[in-house]
Chains A and B, each alone.
Chain A
Amino acid sequence: MSTPILLAALGGLLTELSGVLNIALEGLMLIGAFFAILITQLTGSILLGCLGAAFSSALLAYIFGFVTLGFKANLFITGLGVNLFALGFTNYLSTIIFGSKGVIKFLDFPELFSFGNNNIFVYISLILTGLFVFLIYKTVFGLRLRATGFNASVAQIKGINSYNIQMKSILISGALSGLGGAAISLNLGAYVPNMIAGRGWIALVAIYLGRKHPIGILLTSIFFAGAVYFSNDAQGIFQVPADLLLGFPYLITFISMVIFSILKSKR
C-alpha cells in the first residue's frame, strides 16, 4: 500500500538531500507503471518487467537531470515537463502498441510473488529503507551527497563535483520511482490511465513530513497509505461517491502539509 509512495519518496529523498527538489516523481512513476506492464507482458517475467520499469524511468530522469543541471534550466519547469512527457508518452505508446488509451489488461498475466499478506515490493521497500539509512549516513557517497545539498560551493572546493552527485541521485530517484510505479501496476495486473493518482506528489510531501530521514519517510508513507485505505473503506460504509473519493488522497496530504507547517512555525 504505502510501498509505491515509499519507493518514490526514498529516491526523492536522495535528490532533495543533494539539493534538487524533484517534482517529477509522479511522471517517473507513471512511466515505470506502464513499462512494467509492457515488458512483463512481452517477456512473461515480472523481474524483467521491474528492471524495465526502473530502467525506463531512470532514462527519463537522466534527460531531466541533463537538461536541468547541464543547461541550467529551471528545476520546477523541467520537472513539470517530465510529468507532461510521461502522460503524453504513455498515451502514445499505449495507442501504438495496444491500440487503446484505456485500461490495458491481459489474460494469463503473471502474478506477483507474495509472502503472507504482502507482495515482494513491500519487502524490497523495507530493505531499501534500512539500506538508505546506511547509505546516507555511513558512506562516502552519503556524506558527499549531504555536503553538496548543504553547501555546493564549499563541497566544490573540496573537489566534489556537484553535477555528478546530483545526477547520480536523480538517476537513483528515477529508478526507484519507476519501481514504485511498477509496484502499483503489477500489483493490479493492469495499466490504468492516471493510475498514479497523485502518489508521486504525496511522496514529495512524505519527504518533508518525514523530516528528510528514511525512517521518518517510512512512517509518513504508512500514514498516508493508511489514510487512503481508510477512504476506500469509507466508500463502502458511507456511500461516498467515487469521484469524491479520488480527491481524498489530495485532501489528506494537503491537510497534513498544513498541520506540519503550523507545527514547524511554532517551534
Chain B
Amino acid sequence: MNFNKIGNSTKSTILALSSAVFLTIILLSVSSNNPLQSISYFFSGPFSNLYNFGNMLDKAGLLIFAGLGMSIAFRAGVFNLGGEGQVYAGATAAVIISISFDFPGKFTGIVTVISIGIIMGALIAGLSGFLRKQWDTDELISSFLVSGAIIHLADYLISSPFKDNSSFLNSTVKIPEILFLKQFLGSSHLNLSFFIAVIISFAAFIYLFRSTIGYESRLSGLNRKFADYGGIPVKRHFIIPMLISGGLYGAAGSFAVLGNFHMGIKGFTSGLGWNGIAVALIAGNNPAWVIPSALIFAYLDAGTQLAMIHSDLSFEFSNLIKAVIFFLITVRRFSIKKENPIG
C-alpha cells in the first residue's frame, strides 16, 4: 500500500489508535504483577464470555448515540462540549420520570421516558445553539458551562430529593420493572438500544449526506460565507445540529437508565460525553464509520476494564488513553517542520 495515498485523517486515526493500544500495554505491564495475564485479559477479555461480550456491545450502542451526536455537530461546524451534562440530564430526567409516574403499558412508558430524555438533552444543547445564532455567543464554552452547572444540579437531585434512603449508594430507587428494556444476551446488559443505535446511524448518514438539510448543514460547516452567499439559511444550522446532538446524547442517557442501570446513581453516566467526542473523531465525523468506531472504542474500554479488574490494578487510566487519542487523532502533518514553507 502506498503510504502517501492514504488520507491524512486516516493516517492520524491509525496513529492514534495504535498509540492508545501501545500505551495500554505499557501501562498494564508496568503496573501489574502479572503483565502477560493482564495483557491477555485486555485483548481477549471482552470476548471471553457472553456477559463481557454483551456488555461491550451495550456500551457500544450508547457510544454510537453519543458519537453520532458529535459527528452531526462537527459537520455543521458547531462544537458541542456539553455532552457530559446532556447525557446526565437525559438520564436523570429519565429516572425521575420513571419513578414518579405510573405507566400503563410497557411501550408507552418506554417511549415517553426516552422522549423526555431526548428532549432534555436537546433543549440544553439547543440553548447554546440559540445563543450562538442570536448573539454569537461561543457555543463551545457556553455548552460546557451549562453542562457543568447541570451536572451539579443532577447530582443534587439524585442525592437529595430523589435519593433512596435505604441504600448506602448515592442513588435513587429502582425504576419500575415495566420500563426495563429486555436483556437478551445472558445476564449481560445488551438490549434493544444497541439495535436502535445501529438503525439511527443509518438514519444519521442519510440525513447528513443524502438530505437537503444535511447538505445545508455540511456546507455551513465547511464555509459559512459560501453557504450564506448561496442563500442557505445559515443561522438555522447553529440550532438544528445542536438540538440533534443534544437529543442523541439525551437518548444515550435514557437508554443507559432503562437498559443498564435501572436507577439513578450519582455520576453514573460520567465519561460518556467525552467518549462520544472520541468516537466521532475516530469515525472521521462520518455516521457511516460511527458503528465500527464505537465498537473499537467499546472494545478498548472493556478490555482495559477487565484487565484492571483481573490484575488488581488500583487506578483508572482510561483518561490517559483518551488523552493520547485526542492528541494524535487530529494531527494533519506528519513531518517536523518549524517554518512555513513558501512558494
Residue numbers of A with Cβ under 8 A of B are 23, 63, 67, 70-74, 76-78, 80-82, 84-85, 87-89, 91-92, 95-96, 101, 156, 161-164, 198, 201, 204-205, 208, 241, 243-248, 250-251, 253-254, 257-258, 261-262, 264-265
Chain B residues whose C-beta falls within 8 Å of the C-beta of A163 in the assembled complex: 338-339
Cβ A91 vs Cβ B319 within 8 A = yes
In the complex, B198 has a CB within 8 A of chain A: no
Chain B residues whose C-beta falls within 8 Å of the C-beta of A23 in the assembled complex: 140-141
A interface secondary structure, majority: helix
Chain A residues whose C-beta falls within 8 Å of the C-beta of B140 in the assembled complex: 23, 76
Chain A residues whose C-beta falls within 8 Å of the C-beta of B340 in the assembled complex: 156, 162
Min CB distance, A99 to chain B, in Å? 8
Cβ A77 vs Cβ B146 within 8 A = no
Cβ A265 vs Cβ B136 within 8 A = yes
Which B residue's beta carbon lies closest to that of A87? Answer: B319
Cβ B336 vs Cβ A70 within 8 A = yes
Chain B residues whose C-beta falls within 8 Å of the C-beta of A101 in the assembled complex: 315
Cβ B145 vs Cβ A253 within 8 A = yes
Chain B residues whose C-beta falls within 8 Å of the C-beta of A95 in the assembled complex: 314-315
Chain A residues whose C-beta falls within 8 Å of the C-beta of B318 in the assembled complex: 88
Chain B residues whose C-beta falls within 8 Å of the C-beta of A258 in the assembled complex: 131, 135, 137, 142
If the complex has contacts A78-B330, A257-B145, are A85 and B323 also in contact, measured as CB distance less than 8 A? yes
Chain B residues whose C-beta falls within 8 Å of the C-beta of A253 in the assembled complex: 145
In the complex, B326 has a CB within 8 A of chain A: yes
10 closest Cβ pairs, A-B complex: A88-B319, A247-B152, A81-B326, A85-B323, A243-B156, A74-B330, A250-B148, A88-B320, A250-B149, A261-B135
B interface secondary structure, majority: helix
Cβ B327 vs Cβ A78 within 8 A = yes
Residue numbers of B with Cβ under 8 A of A are 12, 31, 79, 81, 131, 134-138, 140-142, 144-146, 148-153, 155-156, 159-160, 274, 277, 281, 314-334, 336-340
Min CB distance, A197 to chain B, in Å? 9
Choose from B153, B277, B333, B336 the contact partner of A247 (Cβ within 8 Å).
B153
Min CB distance, A40 to chain B, in Å? 23
**Of A162, A208, A250, A265, most B-chain CB atoms within 10 Å:** A250
If the complex has contacts A72-B332, A254-B145, A265-B136, are A243 and B316 also in contact, measured as CB distance less than 8 A? no
Cβ B149 vs Cβ A85 within 8 A = no
Chain B residues whose C-beta falls within 8 Å of the C-beta of A78 in the assembled complex: 326-327, 330
Supplied contacts A161-B338, A257-B141, A265-B136, 15 more A-B pairs, CB within 8 Å: A67-B328, A71-B331, A81-B325, A84-B319, A84-B322, A88-B317, A91-B316, A92-B320, A96-B31, A163-B339, A198-B148, A201-B141, A201-B144, A247-B150, A264-B135
Chain B residues whose C-beta falls within 8 Å of the C-beta of A250 in the assembled complex: 145-146, 148-149, 152
Choose from B160, B281, B322, B333 the contact partner of A243 (Cβ within 8 Å).
B160
If the complex has contacts A71-B333, A73-B330, A88-B317, are A261 and B131 also in contact, measured as CB distance less than 8 A? yes
A to B CB contacts below 8 Å, 19 in the list: A63-B327, A70-B333, A70-B336, A81-B323, A81-B325, A82-B323, A84-B322, A88-B316, A88-B319, A92-B315, A161-B338, A243-B156, A247-B148, A247-B150, A251-B149, A254-B145, A257-B138, A261-B131, A265-B135
